[in-house]
Structure 1
Amino acid sequence: MPDVIFPLDSTKPFTEQEILGHNRWHPDIPAAVSVKPGQSARIECREWFDGAIKNDDSADDIRDAPLNTVHRLSGPVRVEGAKPGDLLVVDILDVGPIPQEEGPLAGQGWGYTGIFARRNGGSFLVDQFPDAYKAIWDFAGGKATSRHVPGVEFTGLIHPGLMGTAPSRELLSTWNTREATLIATDPDRVPPLALPPEPDGAILGSLTGADFERVASEGARTAPPRENGGNQDIKNLSKGTRVFYPVFVDGANFSVGDLHFSQGDGEITFCGGIEMGGYLDLRFDIISGGMDTYGVAENAIFLPGNSDPQYSEWISFSGTSVTLDGEQRYLDSQLAYQRACLHAIDYLTRFGYSPEQAYLLLGAAPVEGRFSGVVDIPNSCATIYVPTAIFDVDVRPSASGPARIDAGVGAPHSAF
């Protein structure tokens, strides 16, 4: 096992750890630890809400989740010798839940998926699912099952939802300016169009005093993916993956968090993977001048690992860019994927699942989402592929009709 350079004590909150991480992007957040090129290291991570979500049968914690405090990131990690214009090479050697622990924290033998309420972030299908729902998933032998979504079992594709390098001052200013411009187009929208800097709840490593106040007022929220990587929620960034990140500041200042035991493409419920705490074993290296050499001025490129769950049979659903009210949209692939997901949800209800259970399943299981046709005006086509082997019953259409599962206790629900 590599040396643990960023340890976390499961008995203490994130803000009381020996080494303090952060939850905003800013070039002036000091590095917490450092590594040399070629060095391997273990980094421990808390789940993104730091224990606010409980292993119970209520969704009140999802409804009331404190979004201004996320994500709890481990880092920054300074890579010695990294300079702006380089590419930072990050190899994921291993990733998993909190090792050999059972307890009240997500990652200690369990994780959770949440549908976020419209008034607290919303989800990909917020118009159809405006309230908060939750599913708890138990881990055993690399597989996940749930009392809230019964009749399924699937192998986890464990990955970090969020990895990235620190922005330069210029890049941070670009983010804040363009997102403020977007917000101004509809400032009262619920959920909001973007999340501006928010000092309340900011965690900024070792910064104190006036420096803390300044960075808290300027730091970018970690919710979206950006040019530095960030919260991309790419489920294929799993064990064996090599990622090449643009470097914008001296040392790169790499950070990581938001681990998922599993996730469907798109993380469509917003809290959509199976959220957990855990660890990553990473190896770091540098390609000097790599941003210019390979034309990677923004957004990481990566070589996926080969540890994907082995599913060979799928049932697939398609959607086009036509709204539920019959309005034609021009090549709207986002809408097409929403329609494909809604078709899958409606289909699964014929087998006894509630719409919310089916939605939670699509967010958590290793489903494949694809933009299948983006050129045939006016309709783009998107598809979602669901592995049939994860179900206890045969979910393929047949002359005998759908077999019905026992929906059990159902998914906990909380409304504002």
Structure 2
Amino acid sequence: MPEVLFSVDQSRSFYDQAVPPHNRWHPDIPPVATVRPGAEFRLECREWFDGMVHNDDSANDIRDLDLSIVHPLSGPVAVEGAQPGDLLVVDILDVGPVPQETGPVAGQGWGYTGIFAKSNGGGFLTERFPDAYKAVWDFHGQIATSRHLPGVRFTGITHPGMIGTAPSHDLLARWNAREAELIATDPDRVPPLALPPEPQRALLGTLEGDAFERAAQEAARTAPPRENGGNQDIKNLTRGARIFLPVFVEGGKLSAGDLHFSQGDGEITFCGAIEMGGYLDLGVDLIKGGMQTYGVTTNPVFFPGNVEPRYSEFLTFVGISVDEDGRQHYLDSHLAYQRACLNAIEYLTKFGYSPEQAYLLLGAAPVEGRFSGVVDIPNSCATLYLPTAIFDFDIRPSANGPQHADRGNCARTS
């Protein structure tokens, strides 16, 4: 096992760890360790909502979650010799749930997927699904099953939802300015257009005193992906992946967290992956001056992992940029993918699943999403690939009709 550079006591809140994580991006957060290029190490990670979601049949916990606390990131780790303009090369060596533990915290043998209420951030299909729901998943090695989604069993693509480097002061200021400008276009929107800096509940590692107070006022929330990587939620960043991250500050200051046991492309319910705590083994190296040399100046590039599940047959759903009211939109790929997801949800209800169960499934299972046509005016075409083998019944269309059965219920709010 590599050296543990960031340890987590899963029985304690991330506000009560020996070395606190950070849940904001800021260049002044001190590194927890400095390593040389070529080093390999382990980061232990707390699940993204600090144990507030429970292994039960109620979704009241999802409904009542406080977004100001997320995401707890392990790190930052500085890399000796890293300077702005370099590329930090990060290899994902291994990733998994909390080793050899069962217990009440996600990652201790189980995880969860949630539909966020529209009033609390919503999700990709929040207009259709405005209320909170939940599915709890049990881990069996690399396999996930859920009492809230009977008839489904699949191999997860375990990965960190978040991995990134620290922004510079200038880059942080640009983030805050452009997101504030967006919020100002519709400041009362529900869900909001973006999440501005929020000092309350901020964690900034070992930063203290006046430096903490100043940084908390401007530190960026971790919800969106940005130029530093961050919350990209790319399921293919699994074992064997190599990521090339831009370096904006001395040392790079690499952090990671928000571990997922599995996820479909898009993580469409917002809490759409199977969330868990666990461990992440990384290796690091440097390409000096790599940002300009390779033109990687705005966002990371990566090689996908090489241990994905081997599903060979998919039932594929198509969506175009025509909304549910029949109105035509111009090359709207976001809408087209929404329509593909809604078409898949409608299809799965014919087998006995509720729409909410189907929505949760598409967020958690290893579905593939693609933008299949983006030039044929006026309709973009998006597709969603659903592996047929994850079901213990045949979902393929046939003359015999769908095998409708009682598929139980997902967890609901009271």
* Alignment map for 1:85-100 (pairs within 5 Å): 85-100=85-100
| Whole-Å separation in 1 of the counterparts to 2:41 and 2:361 | 34
The match for 2:412 is 413
- Describe the superposition over 1:228-254 as per-residue Cα deviations: whole angstroms up to 9, x where unpaired: 000000000000000000000000011
Check the 8 A contact 1:145/1:154 in 2, yes or no. yes
Q: Secondary structure at the match of 2:312?
A: coil
The match for 1:305 is 305
- Describe the superposition over 1:281-332 as per-residue Cα deviations: whole angstroms up to 9, x where unpaired: 1001111100011011121000111101000001010000011011110000
- Describe the superposition over 1:51-97 as per-residue Cα deviations: whole angstroms up to 9, x where unpaired: 01111111011001110000000011111110000000000000000
| Whole-Å separation in 2 of the counterparts to 1:389 and 1:331 | 33
| Whole-Å separation in 2 of the counterparts to 1:16 and 1:116 | 26
| Whole-Å separation in 1 of the counterparts to 2:171 and 2:29 | 15
The match for 1:251 is 251
Deviation at 1:152, TM superposition (A): 0.3
- Specify the code of the residue in structure 1 equivalent to 2:185: T
* Alignment map for 1:250-399 (pairs within 5 Å): 250-399=250-399
| Whole-Å separation in 1 of the counterparts to 2:227 and 2:278 | 26
Structure 1 runs of 4+ with >3 Å offset: none
343-352 vs 206-215, which moves further: 206-215
The count of residues paired between Structure 1 and Structure 2 equals 414
- Specify the code of the residue in structure 1 equivalent to 2:110: W
- Specify the code of the residue in structure 1 equivalent to 2:45: C
Within the alignment, does 1:237 sit opposite 2:225 as a pair?
no
The match for 1:117 is 117
Check the 8 A contact 2:195/2:221 in 1, yes or no. yes
| Whole-Å separation in 2 of the counterparts to 1:283 and 1:101 | 25
| Whole-Å separation in 2 of the counterparts to 1:191 and 1:228 | 25
| Whole-Å separation in 2 of the counterparts to 1:246 and 1:340 | 34
Deviation at 1:208, TM superposition (A): 1.5
| Whole-Å separation in 2 of the counterparts to 1:206 and 1:383 | 45
Unaligned runs of 5+ in 1: none
* Alignment map for 1:160-199 (pairs within 5 Å): 160-199=160-199
Deviation at 1:414, TM superposition (A): 2.1
Check the 8 A contact 1:21/1:32 in 2, yes or no. no
- Describe the superposition over 1:123-143 as per-residue Cα deviations: whole angstroms up to 9, x where unpaired: 000000000000000000210
- Specify the code of the residue in structure 1 equivalent to 2:300: A
When the two structures are superposed, what TM-score results if normalisation uses the length of structure 1?
0.99
Check the 8 A contact 2:112/2:274 in 1, yes or no. yes
Q: Secondary structure at the match of 1:16?
A: coil
* Alignment map for 1:47-196 (pairs within 5 Å): 47-196=47-196
When the two structures are superposed, what TM-score results if normalisation uses the length of structure 2?
0.99
Unaligned runs of 5+ in 2: none
Check the 8 A contact 1:151/1:405 in 2, yes or no. no
| Whole-Å separation in 2 of the counterparts to 1:148 and 1:136 | 7
Within the alignment, does 1:30 sit opposite 2:30 as a pair?
yes
Check the 8 A contact 2:5/2:32 in 1, yes or no. no
